[in-house]
Amino acid sequence: MTLTSILPSMRRLVPDPIVARHWPANTVAGLDDVVIAAVSLHRLAEVCGTPCVHTAAAVEPGTGGRASHEETVSVVVARVTRVDDRSGNRLVQLDADLANVEALPMDTRLIARISTAHETPALLGAPDRPTLLPADLVVGDLLAIPCRDAASLHDVRPNLGEPYGRCGR
């Protein structure tokens, strides 16, 4: 339990903490963005479109954040295309397909805007991907989702009917 989960209004002043071992080395969480080795994920999505993927060195376990020379992790940036809470379970659909990557949905971050709403349970694209997301999540919001190992744009191909992003082409 963090201060920002107890008092969501604090998110305007203090960024939510990240679990460093799930994110690439040199990751810095900001109020409305995640920056990896000087690459803004919000800006990456603006330039490349969504979904897009950023792959970088993983954190070497037990080193306090040093970059691994062997392991890589990826972050998928995807746009919310639908929020459905009619069934009692809030299902959040994305313009990315996470079925082919080992996503870590519990570490998903909202980027490009600051939400002061409490986080509520949600299913990220599928019933087997539970997470906590802001209650005021809307279509068009950007989410940064860390993934184990390296992923490519091909791995997170958009769902049918959605245009392909431009990154990695």
Q: List pLDDT tens digits, range 36-53.
A: 999 999 999 999 999 999
In a domain, 76, yes or no: yes
The 10 Å Cβ neighbour count of residue 158 is: 20
Supply the pTM of this predicted model. 0.87
Give the pLDDT confidence score for residue 72 in this predicted structure: 96
In a domain, 163, yes or no: no
In a domain, 59, yes or no: yes
CATH code of 33's domain: 2.40.37.10
Residue 164 has pLDDT above 60, yes or no: no
Per the CB < 8 A criterion, the answer to whether 8 and 116 are in contact is yes
Give the pLDDT confidence score for residue 88 in this predicted structure: 79
The 10 Å Cβ neighbour count of residue 14 is: 13
Residue 138 has pLDDT above 70, yes or no: yes
Give the pLDDT confidence score for residue 1 in this predicted structure: 67
pLDDT, tens digit, 9 for 90 and up, residues 17-38: 899 999 999 999 999 999 999 9
In a domain, 7, yes or no: yes
In this prediction, residues 159-169 reach a mean pLDDT of 49
In a domain, 164, yes or no: no
In a domain, 34, yes or no: yes
Please state, in angstroms and rounded to a whole number, the distance separating the CA atoms of residues 148 and 102.
5
Q: How far is CA 37 from CA 55, 60, 77, 155, in A?
A: 11, 15, 16, 23
In a domain, 106, yes or no: yes
Number of domains in the chain: 1
In this prediction, residues 99-119 reach a mean pLDDT of 93
Confidence of residue 131 (pLDDT cuts 50, 70, 90): very high
Please state, in angstroms and rounded to a whole number, the distance separating the CA atoms of residues 41 and 76.
9
Residue 100 has pLDDT above 80, yes or no: yes
Q: Which residues contact 163 (CB under 8 A, 6 or more apart)?
A: 49
Q: Which domain holds residue 36?
A: 3-156
Quote the mean pLDDT of the chain.
88
